Amino acid sequence: MWGIELAKPVKIGALRHRITIQSLLLAPDGQGGNTEVWTDLCEIWADVQPVSSNERLYARQLQYTRSHKVIIRNLEDLDVGVTHTHRFLFDQRTFHIKGIRRLDEKRFWLILDAEENVAT
C-alpha cells in the first residue's frame, strides 16, 4: 500500500552472503594524469536480494541492469562510512551503490540500493 516498504526485524542468520566493500582512489599514472584504483575497505556479511532487472538499447548495444537490495550492519563502528561513491563485490560481480537507507531509522542496520551493470 502506498509503496511503503515495511521494515521487518533482521535476524543475524539472514546475513549469509560475503561481500567486499571497495573505495575509489586516484593514483598518479606518472604522466601527469590519474588512474582509477579500487581498494578493499572491508569484507562483511550481508543479505543480498534481487529486486528487478531491466534492459535497454543504448548506442546500438543492448544493456542489462539488475537492481538489488542489500542489508548490512552499520559500519560506522568500524570507522567505515559507506557512501554512494563506494561499490561492493559479490559472487565475482560488481555492484554500484545507488542509495543508502536505515532500516526503521535505527543506526544498527543499513539497506543499500545497488545496481549491477551486465555487459553484453
pLDDT, position 118: 63
Asked whether residue 3 carries a pLDDT value surpassing 50, the answer given is no
Asked whether residue 86 carries a pLDDT value surpassing 70, the answer given is yes
CB atoms within 10 A of CB 9: 8
Instruction: Give yes or no for a contact between 97 and 50, defined as CB atoms under 8 angstroms apart.
Output: no
% pLDDT > 70, the chain:
82
Instruction: Render pLDDT for 54-81 as a digit per residue (tens, 0 to 9).
Output: 777 777 777 778 899 999 988 765 556 7
Using left for φ > 0, alpha for ψ between -120 and 50, and beta otherwise, residue 108 falls in alpha
pTM over 0.95: no
The structural domains of the chain, with segments of one domain joined by +, span 14-118
Superfamily of domain 14-118: Bacteriophage SPP1 head-tail adaptor protein (2.40.10.270)
For residue 75, give the nearest of 45, 33, 119 by alpha carbon. Answer: 45
